[in-house]
A and B are shown apart, each in its own frame.
Chain A
Amino acid sequence: MTNLLTNENPSGNGRTDPPLLEVRDLSVTFPQRGGPSVQAVRGISYQVHKGEFLGIVGESGSGKSVSSLALMGLLPSSATVTGSILFGGRSLLELNDRQLSGIRGQEISMIFQDPLSALTPVYTVGDQIAEALLLHDAALSKRAAAARAVELLKIVGIPAPERRARAFPHEFSGGMRQRAMIAMSIANDPLLIIADEPTTALDVTIQAQILEVLEKAKSLTGAAVVLITHDLGVVAGHADRIAVMYAGKLVENGTTHEVFADPHMPYTIGLLRSVPNMQTAGTQRLVPLEGRPPSLTVLPRGCPFAARCPIAVSACLDTEPVLLDHAPAAPGVPVAGLGEAAHVAACHRSAEIASGTLTRPDVFPRPEPLAVEHREKNADTEPVLKVTGLVRHFPLTKGGVFSRQIGTVRAVDGVSFSIQPGQTLGLVGESGCGKSTTILEILEMRKPQAGQILIDGQDVATLGRADLLRLRKDVQIVFQDPMAALDPRLPIGDIIAEPLTVHGVKPADRRARVAELLDLVGLDPAMADRYPHEFSGGQRQRVGIARALATNPRLVVLDEPVSALDVSIQAGVINLLEDLKEQLNLSYLFVAHDLAIVRQIADTVAVMYLGRIVEYGPVAEVFAHPRHPYTQALISAAPIPDPEIERNRKRVLLEGDLPSPTEQIDGCNFRSRCPLYTLLPPQKRSLCESFDPLLALHDTVQTACHHSEQNTLLTAAV
């Protein structure tokens, strides 16, 4: 990998060998009964050289997955594929399925997004890897294949591979399944690995591990990698070249450095500017990229991005731009060799952008920060929400009729925090750490198993039914998936008015309030009688926010409010949330796994691990000087959309997966994965083994670690 990087001439002109994969003018259309066909991919051309790492970036529906399925010949038979795909000199589109099968898994292998559905549940993982080997090598004995499978599992970093090879996919965690998929994909030393969103379903810490394994697999086999993703941070650190797709077309293609440092296409510029960067988050507003991609069935004339493009001119509405090299040296030269290592972009105004007459802030100006009125932030004002020692255990039972308890899931195990009016608390952690259970316990408003929940200073355990109903006005929630959170059978006006009906607001007042709320979240009040399916993801989330604000709450619980949205939409929603907080003096409890977004919006951050808070303090301090080794690992695992920073970062990688919350770990429960623990001398380790660390105050931050003063060891070690 490093070899390749250093050898590579930045402009890439040094290549003379024929490309490994050459896609020319590939188009994929899906005919539809009684309607115009869906043009999923419209004439894309790119090349992948031996050992190259190409990142294909695009929003959902941009055609990035369809184009790679076309490579593998895995599209449904109804799809019409035109153009040509040359792989090692052979034209893949002319091969029949039998010939393709010889290439699939042997020379081209694929890693899918969801490893659970990509593995067969009824065979052991070892058998499935062995099968991949035996299929393409008839001379291999079964025993040798099994041994090789174990070896492959070891390469991808699965502990105890001999035992794990005999396990079934459901016994693996998500990260381990993806490792097994990678093991299977490199089993036959392929020339090309296609990875379709391989880390999207995984936590950041696991994502970092998997990307590391992918790099390792690449360097071991020397294969070229095509990584398809929506996450610019993921490609920034790994890809040599980046291809950006929009509405079925390639709109920009260049080396990672070129695309990040000097993008020529407004869409790329918008994407890059809209992604929150963990290092700069919180200091400036995000740049929103409004609108949504066009429908692939009825594409507008001209450039498909024109409707969202702030610098569109009349030519953009007329003709669709083609990919051209806009480098100042050779302006507007048509690319003869199909972008052989050139930096190409499809935009009528790319030349202006490339020459510097149109700067990136000209294209997508950063919105003015809100005039922040400095409110009196008294430390002694009553917190909106105060949680003390909250516990939620679930009994684990076995047996049907006479069930007996065989264990306890410690979902939430003594969590304390408080939120002041007008403040935002970010709750972060991997999935399974108890974030969701914590907020559900708060919203259920029943007596907790142990501990206390105070809302507006009132203990929910002591309140009667009527008081609780009144209290519910003050606490509202916005869910992660805006489609699931809105009843598909109700028009959005009724959805937004629902909290008002509970509190007996008259119909006329409800309608007025709905119009007011729609206006507040940036939607047209005339849309109140439309149904949720008529809206885009970002608009639906705005409806969800409007519903949460209907009763004028004091606290809004935001459960991963942007993680189900496309990158370009996220910035707009985050900005809206920030504006609303200032306008209405709201408090947020913001649950997220994306650290950059938490840094952007939160004032205080609480890091959760296995049902406990391990670090709790002001957001700037925690991110600048993480004291707990888990926080350090989380922050270093989060990708940063900047190739320079990303490649020179020192990473604190966590070993393994989150342990099951049923396990009883003596002493510090992070011990089993702690990178600091392994560096400590034995006498200091005994403290971790025997005593459970409590949150202790260091300056302004509370940290639950015995050795937080030693954490420089970690940065020194990597």
Chain B
Amino acid sequence: MIRTVNLQKLFTTEEVETTALNGINMEVQDGEFVAIMGPSGCGKSTLLNILGLLDNPSDGEYHFWDKEVARMSERQRAQLRKGSIGFVFQSFNLIDELTVFENVELPLLYLKVPAAERKVKVEEVLERMNIMHRRNHFPQQLSGGQQQRVAIARAVVAKPNLILADEPTGNLDSTNGEEVMKLLQELNNSGTTLIMVTHSPYDAGFAHRIINLFDGRVVTENIKEQFHV
């Protein structure tokens, strides 16, 4: 599904040039669950943003479903993102003005899914995330764990093939964190490819494979269990 060749990302300011990613070669198979670990500033989030088509690499190749996407324009990337990638953020990033239902509905609106169908899909996913009873609440009225469940619901409602999670448990206590990780695992079990950035070795334990980054390079890859396509 994903293949990068010698991926580079430089951040240039007037005086300094910082190398965030330095020749990343990696591959992710359909249905795989990959965790990316490493100390702060090693380039984890930068890599995730590039993989999520939110950002372009400075150099190298990025094949998304055998399509070279590294040089795509913002508009083309937006088009490709729509419906095929879901995001889960550490700080949830729910829109405060929208209710739980409306937040989850948002990706479907951008995909121009008809209203009746939207309702069915949103309710289904809210049911699955066990948050149906809070459907008319606003994000501020929910606990952190509930907010993250809404965020996951929003990420999966359009049935994307890839979900990118940036420290999904970072703002949660251990109970809620555990719950979220189980949800993600379930999603993966049902066939969704998952790439997750995390600091927590425990969370990483849920993945099939752990990629360790240091100073913008891949240092080790621990294959926890062999993944079969």
Q: Are A and B physically bound partners?
A: no
Instruction: List residues of chain A with CB under 8 Å of any chain B CB.
Output: none
B contact set with A: CB distance below 8 Å: none
